[in-house]
Structure 1
Amino acid sequence: MAFVMASVDPYSDYSNETDENNSLPRNWTEEDDEYYYDDYYEDQPELRKSLNIMSLVVYSLAFVLGVLGNGVVIWVTGFKMKKTVNTVWFLNLAVADFLFTAFLPLSVAYTATDFHWPFGRFMCKVNSTLSTLNMFSSVYILVVISVDRCISVVKPIWAQNHRSVQRASAVSLVVWFLALVLSSPSFVFRDIAPGMKNGTIVCFNNYASSDDHSPEVVALRSMRHCVMIITRVILGFVVPFAIIVSCYAVIIHRLRTSRSMSGRTGRPFRIIAAVITAFFVCWAPFHIMAIIEMINHMKPESDFSPTLHHVTMIGFPITSSLAFLNSCLNPLLYVFMGQDFKDKVCKSILKVLETAFTEEVSRTNTYTNSMLTSRSKQKSFSDAEV
C-alpha cells in the first residue's frame, strides 16, 4: 500500500440526495480528500482553509517522498540486486506505492483549485481506481510478506526447497489480479458532475448511476454505499491485519523458544514492531472514521448526529493523510532496513557521482573504484533482511 489515500480518493463514500437544480448529489463525496464538501464548510471558511492547506502539504510531501523513495526501490530491486523472493515482494510493493504517488499531482491540483476537476470523466475514474488498487495491493503484498516470513521461520527446510522467484512472481500476479477486481467498483461508479459553484466540475461516487430520487434508487444507492465501506474495512484492513498479527505472533513465539535463533531476535523484533505499528497507525484511524461515517449516514434523518457529522468532516482529512503517508513509509520500513539494499543504494549512488566527476577528479575516481572492488570481493549479498 493510498488511501486512503487514501486521494484518498477511494476510501470514503457518501450516498445522499441530489440537489434539485443540479445533478450533483447533495453532500457529494469529496473522496480525493476523504471528506465531502457541502454547506458545512461554507459556514466555517477558516476550517475549510486549514483542512485544504493540510491536504495540499501532505499530498505534495507524499508525492515527492513517495515517487523518489519508491523510484529508488524499483531501481535497486529491479535492476541492481540479484533477483530473490524478497526482492520480488519489495519490487511489487514499491510499484504499487509508486503508481499511487505518481498520480497525486491530480489531487493536488483538485484541492488547490477549490475542488474543480478539469481532467475529465476517464481520469476521474482512473485516479480513483489507482488509489483503491494501491490500498488493496499494498495490504495484500504485506500479507504475503508476513506469511512468507512465517513459513521461513516455522518450516525453514520446506521454504528453502519451495521458495523461488518464479513462484513469488506468480503469487504477485494473483495479488494484483485480486486487488484489481476489488478496486473495479471505483472505476464503475466514479463520475463527474457540475459542482455547487458555477463553472466547477466535481469527481464523486455515483452509486445509483442515476439522478432519480425514487425510494428504490435511494435504497440502492444506500446499499451500495454500505457494501463498499464494509468491503474495504473487512477485506482491506481487518482480515489482512489479523493475518499479519498472527504471522508475527508465531514468528515471535518461535524465535523466543528456539535457542539457535535466540541470538538474532533483537533485529527481527524491532522490524516486526515497526511493521505492525506503521500498518495500524496509518490505516486503523481511517477505517474507524469510515465506519462512523457509514453508521451516521445510515440513520434516519431524525436520528442524524451533527456531532458525528462534525467528527467525520474534520477526521477524514486527517486520517486520510495518515493513509497517504503509508506509501512513503513502506520503502523505509520494508526495504531500507535491509543491509543488502542499503549497501547497493550507497554504492550505486556513489558510482553515479564518480561518473559525473570523472574528468575533474580522475585520481579520486580511480581510488574509489579500487576500494569498491576490494570491498565487493569481501562481502556477499543475500536477501534484504526484514
Structure 2
Amino acid sequence: MAESPTAEQLESVHDTTVQTSTNWSLDPRTEAAGESVSLHWAEIPSLVIALVGLVGNSIVLWLLGFRTRRSPFSVYILNLAAADALFLGSYFGLRMWVIVGDLNLVILDQLGRCLLGLSYRMGLSLLAAISTERCLSVLFPLWYRCHRPKHMSAAVCAILWALQGLFSGVFGALYFLNKDDLDDFYFVFDLVQFSWFLLLTCVLGVSSLTLVLRVQCSSQRRRPPRLYLLVLLTVLVFLLCGLPLGVFYAVQFLYDFYIIPLGLTRLLACVNSSANPFIYFFLGSQWRRRGREPLRVVLQRALGEEQVESRNLVSQICRKVIPTNATDSV
C-alpha cells in the first residue's frame, strides 16, 4: 500500500512546482495560483503567435473549404490547417482559462491532454501522409497518376481523425470513470503515443530525404515545382519547431527528466502551427507582378502547379509505352 507523503515531501514538491512554473507549463498541476502574474508576461509571445496563427489557418480553411476547387493535395492541406487551428485555439483558450483563474484544474488538465495531444498527433500524421504521397508520386509517377484511388486523400484524413479522436476520447472517458487506479493506464497511453511519434517521425524523415534528393536532382535541369518546395518547407519548419515538443515528452517517458524547458517547446509548437499559412501564401505569390492578387488565386497557385507537370510527365510516358504495347500485340 502506498504511504502518505510527509510534510517535508510536500514542501519539496511545492518548491519544485514553483521552480517549474517559469516553464509556462500547460499542466495545471505544476502551476501555483499565486504565480499567475509572472506567467502572464512569460506567455505573451506564445499567446500572440497562437492568435495570429489561428487567424491565418482560419483563412486557409475558408479558402480551401468554400472558395476553391479541391484537389487531392488540397484535402491534406485543409485537414492540416484544421489540426493547426485546433492546436492554436486550444492552447490560446486553455492559457486564457488559466489566466482568468476560476477553473477546475482536473477538467483543464484533461482538456489539455486530449485537445493538444489530438491536434499535435494529427498534424504529425498528416505531414507524414503528405510527404509519403509526394514520394510515391516522384518514385512511381505513372502508377500514382493512373492507379491512385480517387478519394484516397479524404479516406486517409478521415481514418486519421477517427483514430486520434477515438484515442483521446477513450483516454478522457476512462480517466473520469476510473480515478483510483490510473498508473497502468497512463503508462499504456504514453507508450502508444511514444510508438506513434517514433514511427511517424521515421516515415517523415525518410520521405522528406527522398524529396530533397529529388528536388536536388531536378533543380539542375529545371526549377523544381512549387508543391515540392511547399512540402519540404512545411516539413522543415515542423522538424525545427514542432518536433521538440514530441521529443520533450518522449525523453520524459523514457528517462523521466526535462531535456529542454516545456514552455519553450510549446512556444515553438505554436510557431510551427502558425507558420504554415505564411508558407503557402509566400510560395504562391508572384513578386514580379504589380498589384495585389486575391488570396484564393495565390493559394491555388501554390497548390496547383504540380498537377500540370504530372499530367505532362504522364502523357510523355504514355506516348512511349502505348505504341510499344500496341506493336507487341500485333
Q: Distance in 2 between matches of 1:168 and 1:291?
A: 29
* Superposition deviation, residue 185 in structure 1: 4.4
User: Taking every aligned residue pair, what percent have the same amino acid on both sides?
Assistant: 20
Q: Does the Cα contact within 8 Å between 2:245 and 2:265 map onto a contact in 1?
A: yes
Larger CA deviation: 161-170 vs 69-78:
161-170
Change (3 A) 1:20 1:316: same
Change (3 A) 1:337 1:149: farther
1:99 aligns with 2:72: no
- Structure 1, unaligned runs of 5 or more: 1-15, 192-205, 211-216, 298-307, 351-375
Over the residues paired in the alignment, what is the CA RMSD in angstroms? Answer: 4.2
1:209 paired residue number: 179
118 and 182 in structure 1: CA distance in 2 versus 1, 3 angstrom threshold: closer
**Residue identity in the other structure for 1:283:** G
Gaps of 5+ in 2: 8-12, 307-330
Distance in 2 between the 1:337 and 1:81 partners? 18
Distance in structure 2 (CA, Å) of the matches to 1:17 and 1:49: 35
Partner of residue 53, structure 1: 41
What do residues 124-166 of structure 1 show as CA deviations (whole Å, max 9, x unaligned)?
Answer: 6555422222112111111111011111111111111234652
- Corresponding position: 1:287 with 2:246: yes
Residue 123 of structure 2 corresponds to residue 138 of structure 1: yes
Q: Which residue of 2 aligns with 1:230?
A: 191
Residue identity matched to 1:244: L
Written as runs of structure 1 = structure 2, the 5 A alignment for 1:24-43 is 33-35=25-27, 37=29
- Secondary structure of the residue aligned to 1:183 is helix
In the other structure, the counterpart of 2:201 is 241
Gap change, CA 1:190 and 1:282, over 3 Å in 2: farther
Provide the C-alpha distance between the structure 2 equivalents of 1:135 and 1:383, rounded to a whole number of angstroms.
23
Query: For 2:270, which of 301, 324, 328 is the aligned residue?
Result: 324
Query: In the alignment, is residue 274 of structure 1 matched against residue 238 of structure 2?
Result: no
Structure 2: how far apart are the matches of 1:269 and 1:383? Answer: 10
* Greater relative CO, 1 or 2 (CA 8 Å, sep 6+): 1
Secondary structure of the residue aligned to 1:262 is coil
Structure whose residues are more often helix by fraction = 2
Distance 2:211 2:131 in 1: 9
Matched, 1:252 2:212: yes
1:254, CA displacement in angstroms?
Answer: 3.6
**What does residue range 82-121 of structure 1 map to in structure 2 within 5 Å?**
82-114=69-101, 116-117=102-103, 121=107
AA paired with 1:317?
A: G
Equivalent position amino acid for 1:290 in 2: Y
TM-score by length of 1: 0.61
Task: Work out whether residues 74 and 303 of structure 2, in 8 Å CA contact, stay in contact via their aligned partners in 1.
Answer: yes
